[in-house]
Amino acid sequence: MQWMVVLSSFAASLVECVEAFTIVLAVGVTINWRSAAVGTVLALAILAALVGAFGTTLISIIPLSTLRLVIGGLLILFGLKWLKKAVLRYAGLKALHDEEAIYEHEVAEIQAHGSGKSSAIDKFGVILALKSVLLEGLEVVFIVITFGISSAQTEAAKTAGLQAASLGALAAVLAVLIIGAFAHAPLSKIPENTLKFGVGIMLTSFGTFWAGEGVGVEWLGTDVAILGLIVAYLTLCGALVLWLRNRSSVAKLGGATGAAGGN
């Protein structure tokens, strides 16, 4: 089960890291890398403190069944939010997420603020990098704590799970930093929309599994049931994409027919 925790934490964290990196890159290129680094380090320190504080609190205070029910429900809501966006994008009803466009927007915002190339640490650049890493990182913290703790049966397993999830998140951070260091550009080549879809499936599946355990459901095959949930949600989302595409095509055809009849 630990490898699933590491993999799930890595995939979910990778999405958030890409989004944070885009803004940090804009600060580094437009202002300077010192400001971007200071803001990033400060944000990571805050996030590490949150994982240590809240992870330990959850481990020692809240009963496992209650924890699984609450976290499972939150994961379902969190995952469904991502799945909704992914389904609408694949159905052609929502624009694809474009990191290059976001990068250009952030650069324009920085330039409009009056900040430019400088060797000194820029307050605005530090705050912008801090805010972006902290906001995206809070979702990573949530992912690390939930994936790390909810799959455990004992106190020792909770600690091991938290470490495994943290390892997955750290691997995602390092992957983005290494790729970004060589690319020096927005990581638009990473299929972020596909990643979000996959992560949404995993979050919803794990959330359903843990919420079920929280209310006493005995899943057939125990942990293997997660794979069945993943297949079920994939099938459902695929059917929704096809239905929305057909509905959109029919609506467009009806509009074109109506316009032709009016002429």
Domains contained in the chain, number:
1
Instruction: Tell me the C-alpha distance between 135 and 219, whole Å.
Output: 35
Would 213 be classed as within a structural domain? yes
Residues above pLDDT 90, as percent of the chain: 7
Q: Which pTM value belongs to this model?
A: 0.61
Considering the domain boundaries, does residue 118 fall inside one? Answer: yes
For residue 107, give Cα distances in angstroms to 77, 80, 90, 127.
33, 31, 28, 15
Query: For the segment 227-254, what is each residue's pLDDT rounded down to a tens digit?
Result: 899 999 999 999 999 998 888 776 666 6
Q: How far apart are CA 33 and CA 26, in angstroms?
A: 10
Asked if residue 248 belongs to a domain, the reply is yes
Residue written as tokens 């805010």? 131
The model's pLDDT over 120-149, given as tens digits with 9 standing for 90+, comes to 788 888 888 898 888 888 877 777 777 777
CA 206 to chain centre: 15
Is residue 263 in some structural domain?
A: no
262 lies in a domain? no
Long-range contacts of 152-160 (CB under 8 A, 24+ apart): 152/64, 153/64, 155/59, 158/59, 159/59, 160/2
Would you say residue 126 lies in a domain? yes
